[in-house]
Amino acid sequence: MTKEPKDNLFVLVKSLSKSEKRQFKLYVGRLGVNDDSKFLLLFNAMDKMTEYNEQVILKKDIVKKQQLSNLKAHLYKQILISLRLNPLHQNIRVQIREQLDFATILYHKGLYKQSLKILDKAKNLAINYEEKIIAYEILELEKIIESQYITRSISNRADELTIQAKELNSQNILSSKLSNLSLQLYGLFLKTGYVKNDDEFLRVTKYFNHRLPKYDIKQLGFREKLWLYQSYLWYSFLIQDFLACYKYSRKWVDLFYANPDLMKLNPVFFLRGNQYLLEALFYIKHHGKFQQALLELETITKEAWFPKNDNVESLTFLYVYSNKFNLHFMEGTFREGLPLIDEVLAGIKLHKSRIDEHHVMVFYYKIASLYFGIGENKKCIEFVGKIISNKSLSMREDLLCFSRVLNLVAHYEAGLDYNLDILIKSTYKFLIRMEDLYEVQKEMIKFLRSLGEIYPNELRSEFVKLHNTLKIYEDHPYESRAFLYLDIISWLESKIENKSVDAIIRSKFQNKNLKN
C-alpha cells in the first residue's frame, strides 16, 4: 500500500464542506476580487481535482511555477480567514481571542478606557470557561495599561491585578506540569509499551511519582483536574491496572458531565475520555457498564447542541464503531456484528482524510477477528492480509504480532496448508525479531514451530497441552492482556470441544452473566 502524496493546501480545500466553500466565495466577493483572480482560479482548480497534481495546475496557466508557492500560501491564508469568520467555528475561545485583538487595537489608538472595559469582560469570560492561559495574557495587557497611570484607576487596582496575576500564574504552572507529565507518560507508553515484569513496574512507578507535582484536589479547577486524571490514567495503563484506568477515565468523563459548557468547548477531550473509559471497561470485561457507557456516548453525540465539525464527526465514528465491535466480541455475537462491516468500510472512505492509517488497520483487524469468530477464515485472511502487506505503516508491535498469528491460524483453519510451512517460518522469523515478547507469544511460537511435526491424530492432545499452558497466563497481571487481541484460549477450546469460536465465547459470556 503506497501513501498518496499530501499537499497541505489541497488537503485543506478537500476538507471544506459545501457551506464552507460557499462562505469562502462570498468572502472573496466581499474583498472585491473578481472571478479571474489567480488565487480564486487556483481554488477552483484544486476543488475539481480528485488527487493533487501540480502539473495539471501549471498546464492551466494560472501562474508560473516560480510563483506557485507564494500563490498557494496566499490562498491558504485566505481560506483560514474565511473559516474563522464562519459561525460554525465561532466558539468561546475564538471570541475571547477576538476581544483581546479588539482591545489591543483600541490600546494602540490611545482609547485606554475602552480597551480596559473590553479586557475586563474578556478576562471574566476566559476565567469562567477555564481558559486561564489567555486570561493571564489579558491580565498582562491590563497591567501594561494601568502602569502608565493614564486611567487614574482606584488605588487598590494595582494590588488587585497583582494578586490575580499570581493566582493565575500559579494555576497555569501546575496545569503545565500536569500536562507535561501526561504527555511524558504517553510518550513512554509509545516507546516501551505496557510493563511486562516487576522491574519495569517499579521503574515506571518511580518515574511517575518523581514527576507528579504536589497538589490540593480541592484547589484544582477543571483544567488542572483534567490533566491530573489523564496522568493517572496513562500511569494506570502502563502498569496494566485496568481497574484504576476505569476509575480515572470515569472521573475524566464525569468532569465534563459536571461542566456541560466546557464539553461544548472541548468536545475532543470529552470523546477521548469516553474512548479510554470504554477501553478500560472492555479490558475488565464489565459488560453492563460498557453497554451503558457506549449508549450514553452515542446518545450525547447525536444531541443538537453537541458540537458538529469534521474532526468531531470523524472521532465519533472511530470511537463508537470501534467499541461496537468490542461489544460483539464481549458477547460472542460475532454473526450479529456482520452488518457493522459495510458501515465501517463506508465510514473509513468518508473520513479517510482525518483517520490515520493505524486506526484503519485496527478496524481491519477487528473485521478479520469478526470473520474468524464465525469461521469465515478466507474473509479473515483477506482483511488481516491488508495489515501484513502494508509495509509503510508503523503500528504497535503487539498488534502486528497478533495479525500474523491470526493469519496463520486462519490459514490452518481454512485448510490452506499448501504453503503452511513457509507461512509458519515467516511468522516465526517476524515474531523472533520482536523484543520483549509476552510469554503467551513465546508459547505460541513454540507451538507453531512444532505444528508441522504433529500427526493429525495427535492434534487434539497437543491443543489440550497448549490450552493448559496458556490457561496459567489468563489472569496474570502482565500477560492476560495478550488474550484481548486474539482469544487463543477460546480458539483452543473450540478445537478441543469441536465447536465454533463464537459459540465458546457466547457460552462463557452467558455463564458469567448468570453468576453475576
CA dist 448 and 406 (Å) reads 12
Q: What is the DSSP string of 46-95?
A: HHH-SS--HHHHHHTTSS-HHHHHHHHHHHHHHHHHHHHHSGGG--HHHH
What pLDDT shows up at residue 196? 81
Q: What is the DSSP letter of 110?
A: T
Cell of 190: 509509545
* Maximal CA-CA distance, the chain: 98
Tell me which of 151-165, 303-317, 354-368 is least confident: 151-165
Average of per-residue pLDDT values in the chain: 87
Instruction: Please state the pTM of the whole predicted model.
Output: 0.84
Question: In the predicted model, is pLDDT for residue 213 greater than 80?
Answer: yes
SS3 (DSSP) at 32: coil
CA dist 406 and 51 (Å) reads 35
Other residues' Cβ atoms within 10 Å of the Cβ of residue 413? 19
Dihedral (Cα; 21, 27, 31, 32), 10-degree rounding: 70
What pLDDT shows up at residue 89? 66
Write down the H helix ranges in 193-331: 198-211, 222-238, 242-257, 260-265, 267-283, 287-301, 310-331
- For 341-372, the pLDDT digits (tens) are 999 999 999 998 788 888 999 999 999 999 99
Q: For residue 495, with 0-12 CB atoms within 10 Å meaning exposed, 13-18 middle and 19 or more buried, which class applies? A: buried
Q: Are 40 and 428 in contact (CB under 8 A)?
A: no
Other residues' Cβ atoms within 10 Å of the Cβ of residue 256? 22
Cell of 419: 504453503
- For 457-485, the pLDDT digits (tens) are 777 888 898 899 988 888 888 888 777 77
Q: What is the DSSP letter of 355?
A: S
Write down the H helix ranges in 374-500: 377-388, 397-414, 420-433, 439-450, 459-471, 482-485, 488-497
What pLDDT shows up at residue 34? 64
pLDDT-derived band at 455, boundaries 50, 70, 90: confident
User: pLDDT: is 36 or 312 the higher one?
Assistant: 312
- For 1-11, the pLDDT digits (tens) are 444 557 899 98
- For 14-51, the pLDDT digits (tens) are 888 888 898 898 888 877 766 568 888 899 999 988 88
Write down the H helix ranges in 339-376: 339-350, 357-373
What pLDDT shows up at residue 149? 58
Report how far apart the first and last C-alpha atoms of the chain are (Å, whole number).
Answer: 46
Tell me which of 162-176, 318-332, 444-458, 493-507 is least confident: 444-458
CA angle (233, 92, 164) in 5-degree steps: 75
Question: In the predicted model, is pLDDT for residue 70 greater than 60?
Answer: yes
Q: b or e along 90-126 (b: 16 or more beta carbons within 10 Å of the residue's beta carbon)? A: eebeeebbebbeebeebbeeeebeebbebbeebbebb
CA angle (112, 117, 122) in 5-degree steps: 120
What pLDDT shows up at residue 2? 42
What does each C-alpha distance from 463 to 404, 405, 451, 469 come to in angstroms?
19, 16, 10, 10
| Sign of CA pseudo-dihedral 280, 283, 284, 290 | positive
Maximum average pLDDT range among 13-22, 139-148, 276-285:
276-285
State what percent of residues in the chain have pLDDT above 90.
Answer: 49
SS3 (DSSP) at 189: helix
* Domain ranges, ordered by start, for the chain: 8-89, 92-153
Residue with cell 522491574: 199
